[in-house]
């Protein structure tokens, strides 16, 4: 049996729409072995598809196909800690989990670039799948089906505070609200900020982050799909966040805060209480530099 640990991801990071993403220390686990049937279960009570339609199964099947290997069936046990359809890379975790487990079971025929490419091909967004595989902060460009990427480790005491609403928002819907065209001025606005974000994070120039996460390509449109988003952003800034942005396609909002700021989370939690958002959750996270880890457990 192979066990895979896959981190959640937070894509876009404000201005880096479809190009920047990072991994955080919230993990899904996938146990997998070959079998003569399809046996899929979850240990955490979440409903998961138990047929070959299961995304982990499909991703493993795809890797077998790429390698010209026949797959009769799989036993899969999922442990899902990443909330689904919330902008924290739960689909990427399934895809990367299935690919990494299958690759290990076949003796690792695919190298890193192949895995990055295959994951992106299945998911469509390398800014989510690539950090799930590699960890750290990733810059990824998809060009004619090939992913050009750089992973950089982030060594800082920053915390990422995820405010997770109690409703789902599909990536499809969150992309439908985006305009087909943007102005030259807006494109320039984002380009400069996306570049500023990575450099500032890696150099420790956190005072730049507030400007760097500002964006004109997706957040203004997606904010309208997330009720109370404006208030949460404003309160997080009032409480001293370096930056706040919509994680991936949303609806999760991520606040980047100083590692030593002990009161931030309790104050934000009280605020959600004031707004009567009792079903919303807060996760205190940090950046994961390891990416997906695979081990053979029996």
- Site residues, ligand HSE (CB under 6 A): 11-12, 18, 125, 127-128, 171, 174-175, 218, 248-249
Q: How far is the CB of 106 from ligand HSE (least distance, A)?
A: 27
User: Which of 14, 5, 98, 114 has the alpha carbon at shortest distance from 56?
Assistant: 98
Distance CA 134, CA 96 (A): 10
Give just the sign of the alpha carbon dihedral 110, 112, 116, 119: positive
Nearer to ligand HSE, 97 or 248 (CB): 248
The residue nearest ligand HSE at its CB is 125
Q: How far is the CB of 87 from ligand HSE (least distance, A)?
A: 7
Nearer to ligand HSE, 11 or 71 (CB): 11
First CA to last CA distance, the chain = 5
Distance CA 213, CA 190 (A): 9
Residues sharing a CB contact under 8 Å with residue 15, sequence separation 6 or more, in sequence order: 189, 190, 191, 193, 194, 196, 197, 212, 213, 214, 215, 217
Q: Are 172 and 91 spatial neighbours (Cβ–Cβ below 8 Å)?
A: no
Nearer to ligand HSE, 12 or 54 (CB): 12
User: Which of 248, 156, 246, 265 has the alpha carbon at shortest distance from 206?
Assistant: 156
Nearer to ligand HSE, 216 or 235 (CB): 216
Q: How far is the CB of 220 from ligand HSE (least distance, A)?
A: 13
Nearer to ligand HSE, 6 or 105 (CB): 6
Nearer to ligand HSE, 174 or 194 (CB): 174
Q: How far is the CB of 163 from ligand HSE (least distance, A)?
A: 17
User: Which of 186, 280, 182 has the alpha carbon at shortest distance from 229?
Assistant: 280
Q: How far is the CB of 178 from ligand HSE (least distance, A)?
A: 8
Q: How far is the CB of 80 from ligand HSE (least distance, A)?
A: 17
């Amino acid at each position: 049996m192979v066990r895979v640990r896959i981190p959640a991801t937070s894509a876009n990071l404000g201005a880096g729409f479809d190009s920047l993403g990072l991994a955080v220390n919230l993990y899904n686990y996938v146990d997998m072995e070959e079998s003569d049937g399809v046996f899929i279960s979850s240990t955490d009570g979440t409903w998961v598809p138990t047929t070959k339609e299961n995304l982990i199964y499909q991703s493993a099947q795809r890797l077998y196909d790429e390698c010209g290997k026949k797959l009769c069936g799989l036993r899969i046990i999922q442990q899902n800690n990443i909330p689904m359809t919330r902008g924290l890379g739960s689909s990427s975790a399934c895809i990367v989990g299935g690919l990494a487990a299958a690759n290990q079971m076949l003796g690792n025929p695919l190298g890193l670039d192949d895995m990055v490419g295959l994951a992106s091909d299945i998911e469509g967004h390398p800014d989510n799948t690539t950090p799930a595989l590699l960890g750290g902060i990733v810059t990824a460009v998809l060009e004619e089906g090939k992913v050009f990427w750089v992973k950089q480790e982030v060594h800082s005491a920053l915390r990422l505070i995820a405010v997770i609403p109690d409703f789902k928002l599909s990536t499809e819907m969150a992309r439908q609200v985006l305009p087909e065209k943007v102005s030259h001025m807006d494109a320039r606005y984002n380009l400069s900020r996306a570049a500023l974000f990575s450099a500032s994070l890696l150099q420790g120039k956190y005072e730049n982050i507030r400007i760097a996460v500002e964006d004109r390509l997706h957040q203004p449109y997606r904010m309208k799909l997330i009720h109370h988003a404006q208030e949460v952003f404003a309160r997080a800034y009032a409480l001293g966040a370096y930056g706040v942005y919509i994680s991936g396609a949303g609806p999760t909002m991520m606040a980047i805060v100083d590692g030593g700021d002990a009161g931030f989370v309790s104050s934000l939690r009280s605020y959600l209480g004031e707004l009567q958002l009792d079903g919303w959750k807060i996760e205190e996270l940090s950046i994961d530099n390891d990416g997906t880890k695979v081990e053979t457990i029996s």
